[in-house]
Chain A
């Protein structure tokens, strides 16, 4: 009799755990929200550089490349977004809807209600740097009026973070610059090969600056001058403090412009707003001085200079 009681008790006790956990999460907790509110769970994953709709748990976190979320809403719908972080601090920001930025502390859930009051495709971003894949951490919220076909947004230039960029090249400073440009994720904002074209909401210039015309922006006059400059970078000479004028036309101004660009990369820059009352632009130039040395920055500048296609006739 006692034995049977113990057996039943054991089975009951052990059964309580899965039933309790699943019941609380799947039945009880959803019932605490108003029924007309759609609840969407979004998890920030630094390793994949995504806000994802997929469940992230101990079993899949360590190996899986998570899919970036595309949120599809109907016009007029109210949704509750629950932000989780699977690792480090993230931020969620939809500048075009003036939604956020919401800081998402690892291990706690941040909730925010979103009213889909405007039709269109709106880009969302993570706005805290969260590791090597941070700059890839963006996606779309698509709001469609009831009954209409959903809009397909423009593809994001670098949608997937592949953090393996191979060995750091030695010797060739242009190759090193290109490597650092890709590794640091610069291409996600400035274009895969520096061509720009990435929109930055409410930024005075609309788009993030391109870098394939840096050579003229620092007033290099000819391909030969550019070659000399690249040679100097290759030799590891600090151009900003170079006293003797090398064989570069108008070197004083080239030097000043070059140094200004290096400083901008090292110190970072806040993107100025087009509409001063509007939301903060999501893409800001970070301060790179703790990640890139002066030499590294010069190598990146060399890469930019090498991107310019000189016109034969000039």
Chain B
């Protein structure tokens, strides 16, 4: 094998050419998508359609029409008063069961409703729109929706073209890679935030900073509990649902996690009392800081992994249709988490609950690998010669790492809770917070971590079907306590568990197996490829979750404003926003946010995948071969998401 150590003559120009070509490939494939999109029969038809509402879906649940058609709609309800709001067409109706006429208004024209027996409009915009229930009609009301697809559905076809384009572009990228040997990626840029921004440095060294984040959090938590137990049973009018499952979730997955790693773990109020018990201090540090663990047990070795988190999270999510719609279920589960966090802290050393039990911690750990910040030593060599190991055991300035890590040796974000104690304890001021490129930690090391990735991507798929999909039957399976269809629920639970624990992992195992054959490098085992390439699901999964979460906030943000003013749903109006009526924000443009995020996910999955392959294979064609099956699986998964969001 010949190798050339010198770089190509004009690397810069060459890389520009590659970038431009890559973008052109993606663009051309998207354009091809535009041209192959089925256009329907030209429109102009008059369609009489009767839409019947029932808890929690519409019949028909999907309307496929042609641009230019005129829809003449009649509505009826089978059980309770429902609403129907047409995204993008400024039409909203309230439908009364047992009555032929219904109330209609056009929100941008008038707030007043008029009784009608028919409402008609011409569908003049292409794409996918949803019709949503606009009147609280029971527990799963916020997820009751149908789909209006106006052909030609360009966003879906252009998006699909884009996904294929990224795959082809990636092939081109590898083909034009002038390095004959793929070398491990050169260390990417890092920006020392504490050095660059002295304010951050000052803040990070304050002893009160974590307390100042946790204490108000706990006060909010008490308010949420009060609302969950004694407030209105209507989810969208109860602060525990709107603030936890809409606002907090959205901020966590779209901002805190990608841009702050596990910064939430530093602010999380749940371990407040456990920490207090262990340290006997809220702010200061005890003199015998090195000996505080006397009398506390080590967490059992057998459970020193995230399997428990995986299974707890999966169990919790099996009941998510109850959890996110019933305030009392949320309050109960959150109380259980606080009690468990405290009880574990009474007996075991460190943040054992956070490290090994907390269901939220598991996916924070996984997706923090993608985050653009990290806590690391400035110079790891200095840490090797450090005698005091203050970051591990503590000093007069701070506690030893509560996450049982050795901060001076940190290489991944996974188990760093961003509490910043090590920044305070390090005598040489060697610890810092750095900014870095997206997805900089690339090594999934254990099976429990790999399975976390499988569980997360499966749940994103399941939620996109149950919560964002139009299928009332699936919703009734998931909504077990109200419907009581145990057979349906068992089937649903079986699909969730099998999908997360067996089907997706099996696809990855198969991809790794085929990839090994295509890679033609016998020394590399299937297991290695399986673990390494499970990382592709980190950027992919995170982006899928972000794309999933946008509709939650944009559709329901008025509930957040209303409950901020009336947290218990008792008819208060503290801020004057309690009476705000439901009106979603840009629902018709949702896919234009979601599709680019999905494309970004694929881009990073393939880019990091190639880097990972490069570490294993010296030859780029072998690297490419090993990567093809798993890349194809990624594209298929994203096509499914695309179909659910935009198809």
Residues of B within 8 A of A29 (CB): 572
Asked if B572 contacts A24 (CB within 8 A), the reply is yes
**In the docked arrangement, what's the CA distance between A268 and B328, Å?**
39
CB-nearest residue of chain B to A90: B81
**In the docked arrangement, what's the CA distance between A89 and B236, Å?**
14
**A6-B282, A268-B98, A288-B98 known; A128 vs B81 contact (CB < 8 Å):** yes
Interface centre among A7, A9, A58, A129 (most CB of B within 10 A): A58
Task: Choose from A10, A21, A56 the contact partner of B223 (Cβ within 8 Å).
Answer: A21
Min CB gap A52→B, angstroms: 13
Residue-wise interface mask of B (323-352) relative to A, using a CB-CB cutoff of 8 A (1 in contact, 0 not): 000111001000000000000000000000
**In the docked arrangement, what's the CA distance between A267 and B136, Å?**
26
Residues of B within 8 A of A62 (CB): 233, 326, 328, 481
Residues of B within 8 A of A84 (CB): 232, 570-571
Interface centre among A57, A82, A86 (most CB of B within 10 A): A57
Asked if A88 contacts B97 (CB within 8 A), the reply is no
Residue-wise interface mask of B (67-86) relative to A, using a CB-CB cutoff of 8 A (1 in contact, 0 not): 00000000011111100000
Residues of B within 8 A of A268 (CB): 98-100
In the complex, A153 has a CB within 8 A of chain B: no
Asked if B98 contacts A6 (CB within 8 A), the reply is no
Asked if B234 contacts A2 (CB within 8 A), the reply is no
Residues of B within 8 A of A16 (CB): 219
CB-nearest residue of chain A to B223: A17
Task: Choose from B52, B98, B219, B233 the contact partner of A287 (Cβ within 8 Å).
Answer: B98
In the complex, A46 has a CB within 8 A of chain B: yes
**A29-B572, A62-B233 known; A7 vs B226 contact (CB < 8 Å):** no
Q: Which of A89-135 contact B (CB under 8 A)?
A: 89, 105-109, 128-132
**A16-B219, A17-B223, A129-B81 known; A286 vs B233 contact (CB < 8 Å):** no
Asked if B328 contacts A17 (CB within 8 A), the reply is no
Residues of A within 8 A of B222 (CB): 14, 17-18
Residues of A within 8 A of B78 (CB): 290-291
Q: Which of B565-615 contact A (CB under 8 A)?
A: 567-572, 578-579
Asked if A107 contacts B100 (CB within 8 A), the reply is no
Asked if B231 contacts A58 (CB within 8 A), the reply is yes
Min CB gap A122→B, angstroms: 24
In the complex, B281 has a CB within 8 A of chain A: yes
**A56-B233, A106-B234 known; A18 vs B226 contact (CB < 8 Å):** yes
Interface centre among A62, A85, A130, A132 (most CB of B within 10 A): A62
Residue-wise interface mask of B (420-459) relative to A, using a CB-CB cutoff of 8 A (1 in contact, 0 not): 0000000000000000000000000000000000000000
Asked if B81 contacts A88 (CB within 8 A), the reply is yes
In the complex, A59 has a CB within 8 A of chain B: yes
Q: Which of A55-99 contact B (CB under 8 A)?
A: 56-59, 61-62, 82, 84-89
Binds A, one of B24-32, B173-181, B208-216, B467-475: B208-216
CB-nearest residue of chain B to A46: B80
Asked if A286 contacts B215 (CB within 8 A), the reply is no
CB-nearest residue of chain A to B574: A24
Asked if A2 contacts B230 (CB within 8 A), the reply is no
CB-nearest residue of chain A to B214: A10
In the complex, A13 has a CB within 8 A of chain B: yes
Residues of B within 8 A of A130 (CB): 80-81
Residues of B within 8 A of A89 (CB): 80-81, 135-137
Asked if A87 contacts B233 (CB within 8 A), the reply is yes
Asked if A129 contacts B98 (CB within 8 A), the reply is yes
Residues of A within 8 A of B143 (CB): none
Min CB gap B276→A, angstroms: 9
CB-nearest residue of chain B to A59: B229
**In the docked arrangement, what's the CA distance between A62 and B235, Å?**
13
Min CB gap A100→B, angstroms: 16
Task: Choose from A3, A57, A85 the contact partner of B282 (Cβ within 8 Å).
Answer: A3
In the complex, B184 has a CB within 8 A of chain A: no
**In the docked arrangement, what's the CA distance between A46 and B137, Å?**
10
Min CB gap B358→A, angstroms: 21
Asked if A6 contacts B283 (CB within 8 A), the reply is yes
Min CB gap A88→B, angstroms: 4
Min CB gap B321→A, angstroms: 14
Residues of A within 8 A of B567 (CB): 21
Residues of A within 8 A of B52 (CB): 290
In the complex, B42 has a CB within 8 A of chain A: no
CB-nearest residue of chain A to B562: A107
Asked if B232 contacts A10 (CB within 8 A), the reply is no
In the complex, B218 has a CB within 8 A of chain A: yes
**In the docked arrangement, what's the CA distance between A106 and B216, Å?**
30
Residue-wise interface mask of A (1-27) relative to B, using a CB-CB cutoff of 8 A (1 in contact, 0 not): 011001101100110111001001100
In the complex, B138 has a CB within 8 A of chain A: yes
**A6-B211, A21-B223 known; A108 vs B578 contact (CB < 8 Å):** yes
CB-nearest residue of chain A to B78: A290
**In the docked arrangement, what's the CA distance between A70 and B219, Å?**
39
Residues of A within 8 A of B237 (CB): 106-108
Residues of B within 8 A of A284 (CB): 98
**In the docked arrangement, what's the CA distance between A6 and B210, Å?**
12
Residues of A within 8 A of B236 (CB): 107
**In the docked arrangement, what's the CA distance between A131 and B54, Å?**
10
**A3-B284, A268-B100, A290-B77 known; A57 vs B231 contact (CB < 8 Å):** yes
Q: Which of B118-141 contact A (CB under 8 A)?
A: 135-138
Asked if A128 contacts B137 (CB within 8 A), the reply is no
Residues of A within 8 A of B513 (CB): none
**In the docked arrangement, what's the CA distance between A39 and B236, Å?**
26
Residues of B within 8 A of A13 (CB): 215-216, 218-219
In the complex, B228 has a CB within 8 A of chain A: yes
Min CB gap A125→B, angstroms: 14
Residues of A within 8 A of B353 (CB): none
**A3-B281, A3-B283, A6-B282 known; A129 vs B328 contact (CB < 8 Å):** no
**A107-B136, A108-B578, A291-B78 known; A21 vs B216 contact (CB < 8 Å):** no
Q: Which of A39-62 contact B (CB under 8 A)?
A: 46, 56-59, 61-62
Task: Choose from B98, B230, B232 the contact partner of A286 (Cβ within 8 Å).
Answer: B98
**A58-B326, A58-B327 known; A87 vs B138 contact (CB < 8 Å):** yes
Interface centre among A29, A61, A108, A268 (most CB of B within 10 A): A108
**A87-B233, A290-B77 known; A7 vs B100 contact (CB < 8 Å):** no
Task: Choose from B215, B226, B326, B571 the contact partner of A109 (Cβ within 8 Å).
Answer: B571
**In the docked arrangement, what's the CA distance between A272 and B81, Å?**
24
Q: Which of B253-284 contact A (CB under 8 A)?
A: 281-284
Residues of A within 8 A of B228 (CB): 58
Asked if A10 contacts B136 (CB within 8 A), the reply is no
Asked if A14 contacts B219 (CB within 8 A), the reply is yes
Asked if B328 contacts A2 (CB within 8 A), the reply is no
**In the docked arrangement, what's the CA distance between A179 and B222, Å?**
48
In the complex, B238 has a CB within 8 A of chain A: yes
In the complex, B96 has a CB within 8 A of chain A: yes
Interface centre among B79, B98, B135, B569 (most CB of A within 10 A): B98
Residues of A within 8 A of B230 (CB): 57-59
Task: Choose from A9, A56, A105, A129 the contact partner of B80 (Cβ within 8 Å).
Answer: A129
Asked if B232 contacts A107 (CB within 8 A), the reply is yes
What would be 18 A-B contacts, judged by CB atoms less than 8 Å apart?
A: A3-B282, A9-B215, A13-B215, A58-B230, A58-B331, A62-B233, A82-B571, A86-B233, A88-B135, A88-B136, A105-B135, A107-B569, A109-B571, A129-B81, A129-B98, A286-B98, A290-B52, A290-B77
Interface residues of B (CB under 8 A from A): 52, 76-81, 96-100, 135-138, 208, 211, 215-216, 218-219, 222-223, 226-234, 236-238, 281-284, 326-328, 331, 481, 562, 567-572, 578-579
Known A14-B222, A57-B232, A131-B80; further 20 A-B contacts with Cβ < 8 A = A2-B208, A14-B218, A17-B222, A18-B222, A21-B223, A24-B572, A25-B570, A57-B229, A58-B227, A58-B232, A58-B238, A61-B328, A84-B232, A86-B232, A88-B138, A89-B81, A129-B96, A130-B80, A268-B99, A287-B99
The 7 A-B residue pairs with the shortest CB-CB distance in the complex, in nearest-first order: A286-B98, A109-B571, A107-B237, A58-B328, A89-B81, A106-B136, A61-B233
